[in-house]
Amino acid sequence: GGITAAQKINALAEAYQVPVVPHAGQMHNYHLTMANLNCPMSEFFPVHDVEVGNELFYYIFDGDPEPEDGHIDLSDDTPGLGLSLSDRHLDDFNILE
């Protein structure tokens, strides 16, 4: 899995002119969408409407882009995927050692 496997899938799909829309919003999929011509769009799920099971991403990371006029822009000034760890919800979880 991961970004490398997704890029291989995108390359194969592009060779056969098949569009790819990565499932689930999240930052790694936004980068895949913007890096591949055969990805016409990316899914987006607002934080207040997170499906059960995917909400952990939004609790532990900061930096997810906000849509503006139906579009998402990724920053060229932020390293990596553009995310940073957040501790703002730390008190909401039980930490086991």
Burial class (CB in 10 A: 0-12, 13-18, 19+), 75: exposed
DSSP readout, 25-57? Answer: -SHHHHHHHHH-TT--------GGGPPTTTHHH
Annotation says 48 is catalytic: no
Tokens found for residue 62: 């900061």
Provide the annotated active-site residues: 23
